[in-house]
Amino acid sequence: MNKKYKAPCNLCGGKCCEYIAIEIDKPKNKKDYDVIRWYLSHKNVNVFIDHDNKWYVEFRTPCEFQKPNKKCGIYANRPDICRRHGVSHGDCEYYDLPYRMIFRNTKEFEDHLDQKTIDWRFKYND
Ligand code: SF4
Ligand code: SF4
């Protein structure tokens, strides 16, 4: 990304104010795969891998302070994480989505594991 660009926040519709993403460990075993299946069983929850191969759980939920015109309602008092987000920090979604790969539901994730011939199924008696 060319850092001379200024973030066009007035054009973008506040993409970075409409979700939170929490880094998680890369899944390594059946128990981990099952936790991700549980995340993805919920509405508006995604799991993605970013361009640095880090894994995140993402909650698609807008910030309560985002105004109808998509501007920040507490701009002067916004959290530091909001201040450190944007073009100058190399993470503005207007120019580059963070996703290298994204799973939006359990089926997408299970298909991905099946394609990689990863055994993720537990065997239950019931
Ligand atoms: S920093 Fe980027 S993603 Fe966030 S509102 Fe501004 S242009 Fe949109
Ligand atoms: S506090 Fe303001 S800048 Fe931060 S996410 Fe909410 S609306 Fe966006």
Residue 83 lies in a domain: yes
* Domain of residue 25, residue span: 11-115
For every one of its 126 residues, what pLDDT tens digit does the chain have, with 9 covering 90 and above? 444 556 677 788 899 999 999 999 999 999 999 999 999 999 999 999 999 999 999 999 999 999 999 899 999 999 999 998 877 767 888 888 889 999 999 999 999 999 999 999 998 877
Q: Answer whether residue 6 is part of any domain.
A: no
Whole-angstrom Cα distance, residue 35 to residue 27? 9
> What distance in Å separates the CA atoms of residue 58 and residue 22, rounded to the nearest whole number?
6
Distance from the alpha carbon of residue 71 to the mean position of ligand 2, in angstroms: 8
**Does residue 19 lie within any of the structural domains?**
yes
Rounded to whole angstroms, how far apart are CA atoms 48 and 30?
A: 18
What total of structural domains would you count in the chain?
1
CA dist list (Å): 17 to 13, 14, 20, 82, 116? 9, 5, 8, 8, 34
Q: Which ligand is nearest to the CA of 12?
A: 1
> What distance in Å separates the CA atoms of residue 75 and residue 60, rounded to the nearest whole number?
21
5 occurs within a structural domain = no
| pLDDT, position 6 | 65
pTM of the model: 0.88
